[in-house]
Amino acid sequence: MIHLFEPWSIENLRLENKIVIPPMCQYSAEHGKMTDWHRIHIGSMLKSGAGLFIVEATAVSPEGRITPYCVGLWNDETQEAMQKMLHSVRKYSSMPIAIQLAHAGRKASTYEPWKAKEQAERAIPPSDPLSWQTIAPSALPYEPEDPIPQAMSSDALERIKRAFVDSALRSEALGFQGIELHMAHGYLFHEFLSPLTNKRDDQYGGSLENRMRFPLEVYQAVKEKISNTIPLWVRISATDWTENGWNLEDSIVFCKALKKHGCPLIHVSTGGLSPQQKIPAGPGFQVYFSQEIRKHASIPTIAVGLIDQAKQAETILACQQADAVAIGRAILANPHWPWIAAEQLNRKIHTAPQYWRGKTNPKADIFKIP
């Protein structure tokens, strides 16, 4: 049995195989609106033969963007731009498309990664017209030299909750077949979860139960408003990779709570909250967390993190460490990664007939003919 190319489902969303293309920011939007770059990029991903594509972190409000060039879905203009892109790519692919809704919290208002590296500066200085005031659970900057975020008031909490609901409804109107809420990588919801960034003294801070409260409230608010035909799942960071931070045990408790709220799936990543993190990066270094959450929270998971070999992905699934695997960096490097995996594992895969000649081994029979 080859698990990687077995069909699987997220609730009623049936997928052809267990290869997921995770959200990967392109930093190429204009005022939150998708551009022709997204049409080119997403079009290439939808020809890969993967089972599911998840659109990059999409901000629910302008101040929720990571950079000034991140995609958003907060008004009619951003929705119309996304609709144009989807109309174009859907002509030529039937691959299911989901969207990740996000708010960057204190990690917003930053340069694109390549510009930040060039300037040796992550956050945009307040003097720059491109910058904006960030918000967070508590007034604690990511780096000591970063601008201080504004601690969220009760009004701000309600505003952000409404923004997630509104963006989710826009996602449904656009025909997305799944929605992922981004609660990982040090962004707003992760900031509420971690004791390192949540120093509130109200019902949203202090105990683990309190720190989970706002993320769970938003999940529930979105769940209640969207159609029950659209699966709503969550991406988390299972550990901060720091002392006294968010950890695996906390993640298991949180995932059990999400499951009680009807969450069908957890996309398991790690890190991103603190510049003091010490990440032992290596092939499949995050898979263990997927395995433990899957086992102890009794919930399906997507594993991610330097998974770039077909046999590696197959072993993860065969050993029941995850229900699907996310292939990110490797599929950026080679958008036809699933073809190679199909050839190596002796399986077939769907792609456009225009590409049927494109095989590493001309004699390999890897393409499914409709």
pLDDT of residue 223: 98
- Reported as a pLDDT band with limits 50, 70 and 90, residue 250 is very high
Q: State the catalytic residue, choosing from 187, 204, 288, 355.
A: 187
Give the mean pLDDT of the chain.
Answer: 95
Whole-angstrom Cα distance, residue 184 to residue 112?
Answer: 19
| Helix spans in the chain (H) | 36-45, 76-90, 113-119, 154-173, 188-193, 208-225, 248-260, 287-296, 310-318, 329-333, 337-344
Whole-angstrom Cα distance, residue 47 to residue 292?
Answer: 33
pLDDT of residue 118: 82
pLDDT reading at 119 higher than 80 = no
Q: Which two three-digit tokens encode residue 340?
A: 């190679």
Q: Which two three-digit tokens encode residue 153?
A: 């008031």
pLDDT reading at 120 higher than 80 = no
Residue closest to 368 by CA, chosen among 13, 17, 12, 10: 17
The whole-number average pLDDT for the span 144-150 is: 96
The one-letter amino acid code at 174 reads L
The whole-number average pLDDT for the span 86-98 is: 94
The one-letter amino acid code at 61 reads S
For residue 187, indicate whether it is catalytic.
yes
Point out the least confidently predicted range of 39-43, 339-343, 350-354: 350-354
pLDDT of residue 370: 58
Q: Is 21 helix (H, G, I), strand (E, B) or coil?
A: strand
Whole-angstrom Cα distance, residue 50 to residue 24?
Answer: 15
pLDDT of residue 337: 95
Backbone torsion region of residue 93, taken as left when φ is above 0, otherwise alpha when ψ lies between -120 and 50, otherwise beta: beta
Point out the least confidently predicted range of 187-191, 222-226, 348-352: 348-352
- Reported as a pLDDT band with limits 50, 70 and 90, residue 276 is very high
pLDDT of residue 323: 98
User: What would the pLDDT profile of 299-329 be if each residue is shown by its tens digit?
Assistant: 999 999 999 999 999 999 999 999 999 999 9
- Reported as a pLDDT band with limits 50, 70 and 90, residue 121 is confident
CB 42 within 8 A of CB 104: no
pLDDT of residue 367: 80
CB 235 within 8 A of CB 181: yes
Residue closest to 13 by CA, chosen among 236, 216, 300, 268: 300
Select the highest-mean-pLDDT range: 117-121, 267-271, 336-340: 267-271
Q: Between residues 358 and 164, which one has the greater pLDDT?
A: 164
- Reported as a pLDDT band with limits 50, 70 and 90, residue 104 is very high
pLDDT of residue 279: 93
pLDDT reading at 365 higher than 90 = no
SS3 annotation, 133-197? CCEECCCCCCCCCCCCCEECCHHHHHHHHHHHHHHHHHHHHCCCCEEEEEECCCCHHHHHHCCCC
Fold (CATH) for 8-355? TIM Barrel (3.20.20)
pTM value is: 0.96
In the chain, pLDDT over 90 holds for what percent of residues? Answer: 91
> Dihedral angle at the C-alpha atoms of 103, 104, 110, 114, nearest 10 degrees?
-100
- Reported as a pLDDT band with limits 50, 70 and 90, residue 369 is low
pLDDT reading at 358 higher than 90 = no
- Write down the domain spans for the chain: 8-355
